[in-house]
Structure 1
Amino acid sequence: MTRVPAISVLSTLLVGGAGSLPAQQDSTRVTWSGEVRVRSEVDARTSGAATDHATLLRTRLGALATLAPTTRAFIQVSDSRAFGEEQNTLTDASADRFDLHQAYLEWSPGAVRVRAGRQELAFADERLIGPVGWANVSRAFDGVRVTWTRPPGTVDLFGAVLDERAALLATGLDPRQNSLAASDRAVVGAWATSKSFDLFLIVDRNATEGAVSEINRSTFGGYVRRTLGALSARGTFAWQAGRQLAVNGQRQDLAAFLASAAATYGFRGALKPAIGIQLDYLSGDDSPGDRRYRAFNTLYATNHQFYGLMDLFLSFPGQTGGLGFLDLMARGSATPRAWTLRADLHQFRLAETGPTGGRTIGVELDLTAARRMTRGFDVQLGYSRFSAGAAGEVAPIGLGPDRLHWGYLQGTMQF
């Protein structure tokens, strides 16, 4: 990051260059940040289809303005694209996915920090809320986060509007034209963090999932982590309760859960070898039309890092037909020279019996290698393979009988 005087920069960036700045802003500083990430992928993840090749580019530029020790503002723009998507090197300059990724005000009086605006949210290991940094277009929330820090931990209160359905802005700020027919979709929550455990509550208001609507859902539970010498362990338990309107018009009570446990043991030696195991269980429902719905929803999670790097399973419960999910993963890693090597082996199963009478979805192998080439410049490459079981070939999974493959080479430069 580079610090530059803000007298010329801030006037252009934040106030559009409309006149000179007041004298009291002479001490304001702007810290610039940026990222350029290029990822080329070879994609054979669709059964019966030819292998595809695509290259993704993500470019970000951010400016953090520090007006006083307690007052800051952050703006970050992001452009996400695939090579060749504009179809013409001269006439198309539309920038279809150029967006304001983050823009917030931050005030930090004492032990409290208030952040209001568009922002990324990430808690614990991102199993329920995370920005999905791997994606070319990652997640941001429009809302407020209040953080209170005092030993031995922190407490976060947050709220965000996910879908504004009766905005005055859309009607020219005329309140007589504002329709109150639909309620906004929103999320609020609390997350308490300490050294060894977290407690959380996440409340969704008026959410929708496909044809299911009027979802008012509370997700609560805990996250624990411990280190004993060379052994580290972590676990998550979350319960979901609430009400929703099913496709058949049935009002349903929600009663679903997620349970996860993981352990890693590191060995001595120059290569720093380590082995690990992880078990994830998401409850399912084999009778989704009755009065109780038991399939767990992973909310706003960064699922890429948990359920296989091929991203065959990103949306729960939709991609498993509400039948739940069981993932048993074994991991091995080592760090020869400046490289970090990792191998993950996943066994995927349905939590409830599928239409074929079986539960075996399949097996996925993920191989990755990463290295920091220079300061701020990282390279990562990987290869993954998936072999479907009986339940994985047919609906609701529907991955087909072919063996699936995927590989990538990625370079990331941050400053």
Structure 2
Amino acid sequence: MNRFSIIGLIVLIGFTIDLSGQDKSKFDISGQIRHRFEMSDRSFGAETEPINFNLLRSRLNVVLTPLRDVEAFFQIQDSRRFGEETSTLKDGSADNLDMHQVYFNIKELFNLPVNVKVGRMEIAFANERIVGPVGWDNIGRSFDGIIVNVHSRNVSADFFNLKQVDKMAPGDTGDINGIGTNVDIKLADNYKTQALIFWQKAVPSSVLSRVTLGFYAKGTHGGFQHETEFYYQTGTITSIREQDVQAYMAALNVWYTFAELGVKPAISLGMEYLSGDDNVADDKYKVFNTLYATNHKFYGYMDYFLNIPVHTYGLGLVDMNAKVSFKPMNKLKAKAIFHIFNASENYTLNDGSTANDFGSELDVVLNYQYNKRFSFVGGLSLFTPGSIFKETKGEDSSLWFFLMSTVNL
């Protein structure tokens, strides 16, 4: 976004404020400034020095509601790394200044239980296992498209048509679209269920036509909670040759909170299985792709498994994890998460033997809510490589530390 665009946005906001005063429109401004320091020694090399850097993300949100059933949302975002501009005086290009979200939402269209949202928007389905905005990232994910929401008392269905890539080529060649529906069903006050169908369709469809379908369920019974998920992928994909997609993933996580104890300790156990490909030469593509997931929150905070299947070498992933959390103080939360990562299929090492262990990771995180607007989060992580990563990345353990502060305006 250039300077003239920024000036135009400011003029638009000022004009909107004036209109809001005349027409009694509801007008709201909010924002967030988030800073994160990271010390990264994730190279698996004992002689490699760590990298220290600072990330800053600033967001300005404007909501305009000229009528009860008409809403517009603007979110301008600046994402930067300290020191990335070439000069403290001459560099004002703001390369990472962007309109992260801008959309309008028409509610109860024609007095029917139908809402229509059009524009650029963040999208989160279920727990973000398949589609999420990746809030941890310094930029985050947003989609261009339309969502039509049809709802009743206990059911809410989102029908979406999203444009990931538009090449503006004849016949729409090279475009990639996301089409489908996500249905939220309220079975009981303590139970949540969602079903998803997501069709990734490239042009021509022989390049990619993959359908992901499955469900998510979360239940609470006293101090006991569980999350259950299953997704299956079918269709066709072409890289060197066309293959039939036959992939799946399943996850089960259970935890218990001892709410009667002062520090509210909780323990959880979980397992995720993502299928891999044991024979890349056949006509079946059996690697599960996590699509647009927020993988940071699931597969270790050190982010060795963000791009699945690339980061798992097409072998799939088995993640067995355990978590302990408690509140030592009213405003302080602490948790520790331990992961054991294995491949779903065997990896052939240089000596001809096979292995399936990627390694293990320990994440320790402290969260302090200073007041209702300002919070700190700090964490330390250690990854110990297994046989696969020792051969492909290095034999030494890796270390990572972060300290993040957030101001909500």
Please, what TM-score do these two structures have when normalized by structure 1? 0.89
Q: Are positions 1:225 and 2:224 aligned together?
A: no
Query: 381, 395, 413: which is aligned to 2:407?
Result: 413
SS at match of 2:345: coil
Identity of aligned residues (%): 35
User: Residue type of the partner of 2:286?
Assistant: R
Aligned pairs for 1:76-155 within 5 A: 76-109=75-108, 110-155=112-157
**Which residue in the other structure is 1:26 paired with?**
23
Dislocated runs of 4+, deviation >6 Å:
none
Residue identity matched to 1:298: T
Q: Is 2:41 the partner of 1:44?
A: yes
CA apart distance, 1:181: 6.5
Q: Distance in 1 between matches of 2:74 and 2:10?
A: 14
2:365 is the counterpart of 1:383: no
Q: Kindly tell me: are residues 181 and 22 of structure 1, through their superposed partners in 2, closer, same or farther at Cα, counting changes over 3 Å?
A: closer
Q: Which amino acid aligns with 1:123?
A: F
The alpha carbon displacement at 1:229 in A equals: 1.6
Q: Separation in 2 of the partners of 1:296 and 1:21?
A: 50
**CA separation in 2, counterparts of 1:367 and 1:383?**
5
Are 2:206 and 2:236, in contact at CA under 8 Å, matched by a contact in 1?
no
Q: Return the alpha-carbon distance in structure 2 between the equivalents of residues 156 and 186 of structure 1.
A: 16
Match for residue 252 of structure 1 among 243, 247, 263 = 243
Distance, in Å, in 2 between the alignment partners of 1:410 and 1:114 is 36
**2:209 matched to which residue of 1?**
216
The equivalent of 1:173 in structure 2 is none
**Inter-partner Cα distance in structure 2 for 1:213 and 1:372:** 51
* 2:345 counterpart of 1:316: no
Partner of 2:264: 272
1:297 paired with 2:300, answer no
Residue aligning to 2:193: 197
Q: Does structure 2 retain, via aligned residues, the 8 Å contact 1:54–1:82?
A: yes
SS at match of 2:194: strand
Residue 393 (structure 2) aligned to one of 387, 395, 399: 399
The amino acid of 1:282's aligned partner reads: L
How far is the alpha carbon of 1:213 from its aligned partner?
7.8
- Matches of 1:410 and 1:117 in 2, distance apart? 30
**Residues 75 and 236 of structure 1, relative CA distance in 2, 3 Å threshold:** same
Structure 2: distance between partners of 1:270 and 1:183:
57
What is the alpha-carbon distance in structure 1 between the residues aligned to residue 83 and residue 249 of structure 2?
A: 41
1:365 aligns with 2:362: yes
1:399 Cα deviation after fit? 2.7
CA contact (8 A) 1:263 1:278 kept: yes
Change (3 A) 1:78 1:207: farther
Q: Does residue 176 of structure 2 align to residue 185 of structure 1?
A: yes
89-98 vs 193-202, which deviates more?
193-202
Deviations 1:260-281 (A, max 9, x none): 0000111121100000011000
Displacement after TM superposition at 1:152 (Å): 1.2
TM-score normalised by the chain length of structure 2: 0.90
2:137 partner letter: A
Aligned residue pairs total: 386
Q: Structure 1, residues 252-305: CA drift from partner, whole Å, max 9, x if none?
A: 000000100000111121100000011000000021231001000000000000
Q: Is the 8 A contact 1:120 1:141 kept in 2?
A: yes
- The residue aligned with 2:318 is 326
Aligned residue identity for 2:199: V
Distance 1:26 1:324, change over 3 A: same
Matched position secondary structure for 2:252: strand
CA offset digits 1:330-358 (Å, max 9, x no partner): 00000111211000000000000002200
The CA distance in 2 between the partners of 1:411 and 1:389, in whole Å, is 33
CA distance in 1, matches of 2:19, 2:222: 55
* Partner Cα separation in structure 2 for residue 187 and residue 291 of structure 1: 24
Given that 1:30 and 1:66 are in contact with CA atoms closer than 8 Å, whether structure 2 keeps it comes out as yes
Check whether the contact 1:47–1:404 (CA below 8 A) recurs between aligned residues. Answer: yes
Contact 1:10–1:30 (CA<8 Å) still a contact in 2?
no
Q: Is the 8 A contact 2:165 2:174 kept in 1?
A: no
CA distance in 1, matches of 2:152, 2:61: 29
The Cα of 1:73 is off from its aligned counterpart by 0.4
Mapped to 2, the partners of 1:180 and 1:375 lie a distance apart of: 52
2:173–2:203 contact (8 Å) kept in structure 1: no
How many Å separate the matches in 2 of 1:370 and 1:148? 37
Partners of 1:402 and 1:302 in 2: CA distance: 27
- Shift of residue 26, structure 1, vs aligned partner: 1.5
- Aligned counterpart, 1:5: none
Q: Quick one: which amino acid aligns to residue 140 of structure 2? A: S
Assess if the C-alpha contact under 8 Å between 2:20 and 2:66 holds in 1: no
Residue of structure 1 in register with 2:67 after alignment: 68
1:246 touches 1:289 (CA, 8 Å); kept in 2? no
Flag the 1:38–1:390 CA change in 2: closer, same or farther, 3 A: same
Counterpart check, 1:234 vs 2:227: yes
Alignment check: 8 A CA contact 1:11 1:21 kept: no
CA–CA distance in structure 2, aligned partners of residues 243 and 10 of structure 1: 43
Segments of 5+ residues of structure 2 without an aligned counterpart are: 1-7, 187-191
- Partner Cα separation in structure 2 for residue 245 and residue 33 of structure 1: 45
Distance, in Å, in 1 between the alignment partners of 2:323 and 2:171 is: 52
2: CA distance, partners of 1:284 / 1:60: 39
